[in-house]
Amino acid sequence: MKKEMIQATSAYERFIHWLLALSCLLLCLTGVGMMYHSLNVIGVVMGGLQGIKSVHNVTGVIFLVALLLAIQMWWKEAGIFVFPEDWEWTKAAGGYLWHVDKVPEVGKYNPGQKMFFLTVALCGLGMVATGLAMWFPFYFPMEIVRWMYPLHVLGFAVIFAFFFVHLYLGTIGSPGSLPAMLNGWVTRAWLRTQHPKWLKEMEETGSLVIRDDD
């Protein structure tokens, strides 16, 4: 029996997603390696403290490029809340926290995904700004530079916490979601359950891309 698959993401979307995710993870890893002496093994692998700092700084530039491209690509769909539908979905918590007979329909991205996107976008830009001040401290008053360190750590804590929530909801918390960012295809049944309004919109506009699998 053939299984109908729907294209949920393009190759470009997946490339930007993974470039942003992997650069963010490497920044977290190298940042923690510089903060805690007990994790010196990370520094050893990268050639000591200077090496880990260089990797962190270069990765920060890659992260900035990926972040700006992600904001440009997803802002219209994932950065703006639509009322009242997004509010209705939020009141029901999308059916994740308690049983809901019928989850309110939303577009391509639900409010939870929008909150994650905005958190990454805003905290990411904040991390870049504070990181640049720490990288080039001689361009800023020392009092400002001192504040950059705790703000940088705060941004890391927020993004890291949201990352685990995103990881859970993108895998075991919502079975069938992961293929959207691995190969770009999801089942029609999954799309009808998770994003029925988006499915209807693609059907009405003729933008639905379908593939039949055996």
pLDDT tens digits for range 36-71 = 766 667 777 777 778 888 999 999 999 999 999 999
CATH architecture for segment(s) 3-213: Up-down Bundle (1.20)
Confidence of residue 107 (pLDDT cuts 50, 70, 90): confident
- The pTM of this model reads 0.87
Each residue's pLDDT tens digit, 130-150? 999 999 999 889 889 999 999
> What pLDDT, on the 0 to 100 scale, is given for residue 20?
95
Q: Other CB atoms closer than 10 Å to residue 196's CB: what's the count? A: 14
Tokens of 180: 């959207």
Domain extent listing, the chain = 3-213
Q: Answer yes or no: are the C-beta atoms of 17 and 170 closer than 8 Å.
A: no
Instruction: Give the HSE-up count for residue 201: Cα atoms under 13 Å, Cβ half-sphere.
Output: 11
Band (pLDDT 50/70/90 cuts) for residue 173 is confident
Residues 6 or more apart whose Cβ sits within 8 Å of residue 22: none
Mean pLDDT within 180-196? 88
Classify 15 as helix, strand or coil.
helix
Max distance between CA atoms of the chain, in angstroms, equals 68
User: C-alpha angle 153/171/67, rounded to 5°?
Assistant: 45
> CA 18 to CA 16: how far, in whole Å?
6
